[in-house]
Each structure stands twice: as structure tokens, then as C-alpha cells.
């Protein structure tokens, strides 16, 4: 039996375990789902008139903000992977897993896949609420695929970030740090307005923030000015791959240091 074949059931079991945390703890997904919906409603109500500015690609602010809220929900679901890992480390459960005869990285695969699966709930709820309230879907099926790829990718990246934080601090008290990281990554981008309307330092930050490209990937679903095309897709995929490589390396480094 090859190492990969031996590792698969372990990854699958840990994926099931992380899903059970949601299925068996009543209301576990509620805060992670409600928060992005509240942001969606609040931001579109507060800043809805911004679409009147020259350079805004759509006349529906709800359409502009839906992908942001989907990514936010997916990101928080990913960050929760880190909180759960920190809890497992604090309670000693992860120490027991470390002595299992499988490569250490396999221990991270299941929980992160679990986070990605969980992230589908807030992303879908936000999308449905947005569509019910009048958001548009000009991107059709290709746009929707792009939106879900962006959410799943961003959740993975957020999961790696949370994992790195958990392996570094080894305490649940690092939870706010994991969430604030996601919050900052999402909002230091073209979250509220397109790049042409950003002013000051945020324009520079959004320019170098890879999440700006991930948002563009996601916005192919709902923003009429960002049609599904490779030009809007490739930068987002590359940004996700870059973040995955950097944060994945950091998480693996943290994992190697654990117990030494």
C-alpha cells in the first residue's frame, strides 16, 4: 500500500470529523452565516448610492457587494479551521494525532477540506439572499462557477492562514487574529468601490492585495461590467495559487516545528 493510499482514509476521517462539528453542534454555522448576511444588507443599504459615481461598473450595489460577502463568509469558515485546530492542540487531541503513522501534512488536509465544505453554506445563503433582494446574475453558470471557485480557494487560503496562526500560537486566544487577518485581506481591496474610485493609501493597498483579483474572479457572476472571461479569471486563479503556496509553506513549517 503506497503512502498516498494509506493517507487517504485518514484525510477522509478528519474531513468527516470536522463536518460533524457542524452537523452535531446545533447552530454552529449560524454566526459564520449571519455575519456576512448582515454585512451584505448593511453595506448595500449604507453605500447603495455609490453606484451613481462615474466609473462604477454596475448600477446595482447589491450585485457589487454579494461576491464580497460570499468571500467573507467563506474566509471566516476557513479561519474557523484554525480556531478548531488551536482547540485540538490545547486539549491535547492533536498530540495524539501526531503519533499516527501518516505524514504530518495529511493531518491538515481533512480539516481544511472540511472548512471548504462548510464554506459552501454561508456563500450559498449570501448568494440566495442577494438574488432575492435584487442582485443580478449576468455571468450565468460560468460566472457562478467562478464565484464558487473563488470562495473555495479563498476558504482554503484562510484555512492555511488560520492553521499557521494556530500552530504558531497554539492557543484559542489567537482566534481573533485569524478572523482579523481574513477581515483585513478582504477589506483592503476593491471591497466597496472599484479601483478607479479608491483614494489615498487604500488604492495602493488594493493594487498589491491579491484578494483584489480573487474578488474580480468572483464578481464575474454578478457584476455586469465584469463579464466571464480569461482576463478576469486568470489573475484571480494565480493570486489564489500564490497565497496557497506561501501560506501552505508557512503552515507546513509550523507543523514541522510542533513537538520539537
Cβ proximity to other proteins: between 101 and 200 the closer is: 200
DSSP code per residue over 233-248: HHHHHHHHHHHHHHHH
Q: Which is nearer to other proteins, 55 or 242 (CB)?
A: 55
How many residues bind other proteins (CB under 8 A)? The answer is 38
Question: Considering the rule CB under 8 A, would residue 183 count as an interface residue with other proteins?
Answer: yes
Q: Which long-range contacts (CB under 8 A, 24 or more apart) does 89-94 make?
A: 89/166, 89/167, 89/170, 89/171, 89/258, 90/170, 90/171, 90/172, 94/258
d(CA 109, CA 119): 15
Contacts of other proteins in 192-211 (CB under 8 A): 192-193, 197-203
Nearer to other proteins, 45 or 242 (CB): 45
Q: Which of 178, 172, 126, 176 is nearest to 147 (CA)?
A: 126
Q: Is residue 27 part of the contact set for other proteins (CB under 8 A)?
A: yes
CB 24 → other proteins: shortest distance, Å?
Answer: 15
Side-chain-facing half-sphere of 164: CA atoms under 13 Å: 21
Q: 31-70: which residues touch other proteins (CB under 8 A)?
A: 31, 34-35, 38-39, 41-50, 52-53
Q: Under the rule (CB under 8 A), what is the footprint of other proteins?
A: 27, 30-31, 34-35, 38-39, 41-50, 52-53, 173, 175-177, 180, 183-184, 187-188, 191-193, 197-203
Amino acid at each position: 500500500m503506497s503512502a498516498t493510499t494509506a493517507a487517504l482514509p485518514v484525510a477522509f476521517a478528519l474531513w468527516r470529523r470536522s463536518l460533524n462539528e457542524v452537523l452535531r453542534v446545533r447552530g454552529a454555522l449560524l454566526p459564520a452565516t449571519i455575519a456576512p448576511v448582515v454585512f451584505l444588507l448593511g453595506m448595500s443599504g449604507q453605500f447603495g448610492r455609490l453606484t451613481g459615481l462615474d466609473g462604477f461598473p454596475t448600477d446595482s450595489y447589491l450585485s457589487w457587494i454579494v461576491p464580497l460577502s460570499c468571500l467573507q463568509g467563506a474566509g471566516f469558515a476557513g479561519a474557523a479551521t484554525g480556531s478548531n485546530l488551536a482547540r485540538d492542540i490545547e486539549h491535547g487531541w492533536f498530540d495524539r494525532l501526531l503519533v499516527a503513522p501518516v505524514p504530518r501534512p495529511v493531518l491538515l488536509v481533512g480539516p481544511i477540506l472540511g472548512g471548504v465544505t462548510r464554506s459552501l453554506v454561508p456563500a450559498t445563503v449570501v448568494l440566495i439572499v442577494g438574488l432575492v433582494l435584487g442582485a443580478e446574475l449576468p455571468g450565468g453558470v460560468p460566472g457562478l462557477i467562478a464565484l464558487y471557485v473563488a470562495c473555495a480557494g479563498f476558504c482554503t487560503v484562510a484555512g492555511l492562514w488560520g492553521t499557521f496562526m494556530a500552530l504558531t500560537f497554539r492557543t484559542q486566544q489567537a482566534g481573533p487574529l485569524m478572523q482579523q487577518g481574513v477581515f483585513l485581506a478582504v477589506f483592503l481591496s476593491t471591497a466597496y468601490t472599484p479601483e478607479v474610485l479608491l483614494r489615498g493609501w487604500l488604492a495602493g493597498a488594493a493594487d498589491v492585495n491579491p484578494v483584489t483579483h480573487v474578488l474580480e474572479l468572483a464578481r464575474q457572476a454578478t457584476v455586469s461590467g465584469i463579464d466571464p472571461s480569461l482576463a478576469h479569471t486568470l489573475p484571480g486563479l494565480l493570486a489564489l495559487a500564490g497565497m496557497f503556496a506561501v501560506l501552505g509553506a508557512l503552515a507546513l513549517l509550523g507543523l514541522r516545528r510542533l513537538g520539537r
